[in-house]
A and B are shown apart, each in its own frame.
Chain A
Amino acid sequence: MEPLLKVENLRIELTTRAGVAPVIDNLSFELGAGESISFVGESGCGKSMTALSIMGLLPEKVGRIASGSITFNGEELTTASPKRLRDIRGNDISMIFQEPMTSLNPVYTVGEQIAEVIRAHQGLSRKAAWNQAVELLDAVRIPNAKGRVSDYPFQMSGGQRQRVMIAIALACEPKILIADEPTTALDVTVQAQIFDLLNDMKRQTGASIIMITHDMGAVAEMAERMIVMYAGRKAEEGPVEQIIEHPRHPYTRGLISCVPHIMSSISQERHALTEVPGIVPSLSDFGQNRCLFASRCNMVTQKCVDERPPEKPFANGQKAACWFAEEV
């Protein structure tokens, strides 16, 4: 069966003062209907660019799809007209962002903003759309939805605003919901509620979720499959449980072990955290024919700096772009 979303050999180039660089460099992945997948990696590794390219929202004049394809339900998106992309954004693929305040319009009530999306999407009357807005606010567990529907965004807390954004995303009944660091600005107790809400929504509507995050714990809780990005390339892909259990790329291993996790019981003694030395390379170093992680890797050999490692598949569904993936 055709996957719902298929990205093949995608290359996205950014034009900066330093020249043209591939922020996304030969990325391929698939997303099935009802599946949830997470993108992880440090900032600047191309996670958000991947999301924006699927949405047809790359920064104008600066970013462009240089090659490759993105197909949604069999339809090619890289060559679709702006009107068609708007259509898809309104109906099939929705996105929620990290800072809900900047994506909500401060001068309209949240009810007006939700109702407008419902009207555009389902062609309902004003009154019916308003009633449905109240229902949606209730569905995203805003207490006293009937009263709060007339609030302006600034009258709500950060967690409530993020729930309003989810309500707006749900109003389109999307087939894919892309969430870019949706809870980074929120308290953990609120984050837990938002995660619950997204999981419920996925169960009820069968939507697929793409979540971008830097938190491995969040990945473990939210996704079935994950993709680890490094310097515009896919470092590793596979089922979440398996990757956490046994990562096959040194970068993934570093990402997991450098974070102090809360385990099922806390012991008295503590060890120094495993360090991944150095930082992510700058954009001008992207795209070279070598392993871009080599400068930070403790398994590096000459081969790694001479040639870009191909993706190695494993029997359990994991794939890792490392010359020594079997030995990790």
Chain B
Amino acid sequence: MSNETLVSVENLGVRFAVKRGGGWGKASYLYAVDDVSFEIKRGETLAIVGESGSGKTTTALAVARLVEAYQGKVNLDGTDFLSLDDEASRLARAKMQFIFQDPYSSLNPRLRAEQIVREPLDSLSTMDEAEKKEIVDRLFAEVGLRPEQQRLFPHQFSGGQRQRIGIARALATQPDLIICDEAVSALDVAVQAQILNLLRKLQADLNLTYLFISHDLGVVQHMCDSIAVMYMGRVVEHGTRMDLFNNPLHPYTSALLSAVPSVDKARREATKRILIPGDPPDPVNLPAGCRFANRCPVAQDICRSQDPALRDVKGGHKVACHLVGEDAVSPL
């Protein structure tokens, strides 16, 4: 595997204006993505995990310029993607494709499968029809669909097959980065396994890079090379798959991992469940200190007054917690 960085995100910020209590009051902001930084190496998979509303999707959308970032940088293969003009960004965006959760609503029901897969080529390139046809044929084979299925409409496919069409469409422009936002969450487990195997095979064959968002930590563990854990718009821990699963450092990461129900008896017996009662704070009215302090089992005074920064504690394993020292030992 190369060591070349394909995507580097620096201090990314997305905020939404929200009105509280009506009237003419000044708008306040919800910082959905707050000072987020991470890197993805070419050919690897970065997973983003975190609870609902923690900012995973918004981060992905901002990386692809589908929502506007008010601060920060996205470096894509050496170009400063967010500062490109519209035309240049349209071309660069072809190098970045999405696969969404819902295989039902993300495909245009009036188009045939073959048209859906060809569409990104139509809008981007100057290829002739024969070339496009060849690419579409190849894509159908690559994702495991039969040639005669090209003429069918989305409703004539099963959920897993629809997800295959979505993958073929995403591959059409030969992207470097594919963003999978809960791409297998709506599928039954058996079909999910088929799609996960396909994604990993395509990654190996085409040297694809994935930004993989999922709430299923078993799936994440299987798919990723590194992980960013988000909590309330922040990355609270970022490291390799081995670091995160075998030596979680942030109390939220530990709680998250301990909550996953497991078929493995040894794991069930070895894991002490770390309960985090209560709810996250109001995202529009954030507390002064650590955003996790009100639920954190080991919070100290400093946690309620100072906001911990994300810092490297051990060879690239980064964590944002006051109680993790240079020894990289979990405070729990």
Contact = CB atoms under 8 A, between A and B. Distances in A.
Nearest to A220: B263
Given A42-B190, A263-B267, A266-B246, A272 B261 contact: no
A276 to B, nearest CB: 4
Contacts of B190: 42, 254-255, 258, 275-276, 279, 296
Contact of B264 (A189, A195, A222, A261): A261
Contact of B193 (A195, A214, A222, A276): A276
Nearest to B223: A260
A17 interface: no
Interface of A: 42-43, 141, 143, 157-160, 187-193, 195-196, 214-222, 241, 244, 254-256, 258-266, 268, 270, 272-277, 279-280, 296
8 contacts: A143-B279, A192-B275, A216-B263, A217-B262, A261-B264, A262-B221, A272-B201, A279-B160
Contacts of A159: 279
Given A193-B277, A261-B218, A266-B221, A187 B52 contact: yes
Interface of B: 51-52, 158, 160, 188-194, 196-197, 200-201, 215, 217-219, 221-223, 241-242, 245-246, 255-268, 270, 273, 275-279
Contact of A43 (B188, B200, B277): B188
Contacts of A222: 261
A12 B218 CA distance: 35
Contacts of B242: 266, 268
A189 B52 contact: no
Nearest to B161: A279
Question: Main SS of the interface on chain B?
Answer: helix
Given A277-B194, A279-B158, A214 B189 contact: yes
Given A187-B51, A272-B197, A276-B190, A220 B268 contact: yes
A188 to B, nearest CB: 4
Contacts of A160: 279
A187 B259 CA distance: 9
Contacts of B197: 272-273, 275
Given A214-B189, A262-B218, A279-B190, 15 more contacts: A143-B277, A158-B52, A159-B279, A187-B215, A188-B256, A192-B258, A216-B263, A244-B265, A259-B189, A260-B219, A262-B260, A266-B241, A272-B197, A273-B197, A276-B193
Contacts of A263: 262, 264, 266-267
A221 B259 CA distance: 11
Contacts of A277: 194
Contacts of A43: 188
B189 A244 contact: no
A264 B261 contact: no
Nearest to B201: A272
Contacts of A244: 263, 265
A217 B242 CA distance: 21
A40 B279 CA distance: 30
Nearest to A40: B189
A261 B279 contact: no
Nearest to A144: B278
B161 to A, nearest CB: 9
A219 B200 CA distance: 28
B222 A260 contact: yes
B263 A193 contact: no
Given A221-B268, A265-B246, A273-B222, A192 B273 contact: yes
The 4 closest A-B pairs by CB, nearest first: A260-B222, A217-B261, A258-B193, A192-B259
Contact of A157 (B193, B219, B221, B279): B279
